[in-house]
Structure 1
Amino acid sequence: MHLVRPTLEHLPGYTAALQAGWSADTVRGADAAREELAAIERAPAVFVELLEDRQGRGAPVTLPDGSQVARLPGLRRWMWDDEGFAGVIGLRWQRGTPELPPYCLGHIGYSVVPWKRRRGHATAALRQMLPEARAVGLPWVDITTDPDNLASQRVIVANGGVLLERFTQPEQFGSTPGLRWRISLALE
Structure 2
Amino acid sequence: MTMLIRPCRDALPEYVAALEGGWSPANVAGDAVIRAHLAAIARDADAFLASLHDPEARGAPITLPDGSTVPRLPSFTRWIWDGQFCGAIHFRWQNGSEDLPAHVLGHIGYAVVPGKRGQGHATRALALLLPEARAVGLRHVELTTDPDNVVSQKVITANGGMLMARFRKEAAYGGKEGVRFRIPL
Q: TM-score range by the shorter chain?
A: over 0.9
CA distance in 1, matches of 2:109, 2:30: 14
Q: Percent of counterpart pairs with the same letter? A: 54
The equivalent of 2:156 in structure 1 is 156
CA distance in 1, matches of 2:27, 2:118: 17
CA distance in 2, matches of 1:62, 1:118: 31
In the alignment, structure 1 residue 33 sits paired with structure 2 residue 39: no
Letter of the structure 2 residue corresponding to residue 14 of structure 1: Y
Structure 1 runs (4+) deviating above 2 angstroms are none
Deviations 1:106-126 (A, max 9, x none): 000000001110000000000
Deviation for aligned residue 1:59: 1.6
The equivalent of 2:145 in structure 1 is 145
Alignment of 1:29-178 (within 5 A): 29-82=30-83, 84-178=84-178
Deviation for aligned residue 1:17: 0.5
Deviation for aligned residue 1:156: 0.3
CA distance in 1, matches of 2:174, 2:167: 12
2:27 counterpart SS class? coil
1:125 counterpart SS class? helix
The equivalent of 1:12 in structure 2 is 13
CA distance in 2, matches of 1:12, 1:61: 25
Deviation for aligned residue 1:67: 1.1
Deviations 1:46-85 (A, max 9, x none): 1101111001111211111111111100010000113x10
2:22 counterpart SS class? coil
Structure 2 residue runs of 5 or longer lacking an equivalent are none
CA distance in 1, matches of 2:32, 2:136: 31
Letter of the structure 1 residue corresponding to residue 78 of structure 2: R
CA distance in 1, matches of 2:109, 2:51: 17
Question: How many residue pairs end up in the alignment?
Answer: 184
CA distance in 1, matches of 2:115, 2:66: 29
Structure 1 residue runs of 5 or longer lacking an equivalent are none
CA distance in 2, matches of 1:145, 1:94: 20
State the TM-score, normalized to the length of structure 2.
Answer: 0.98
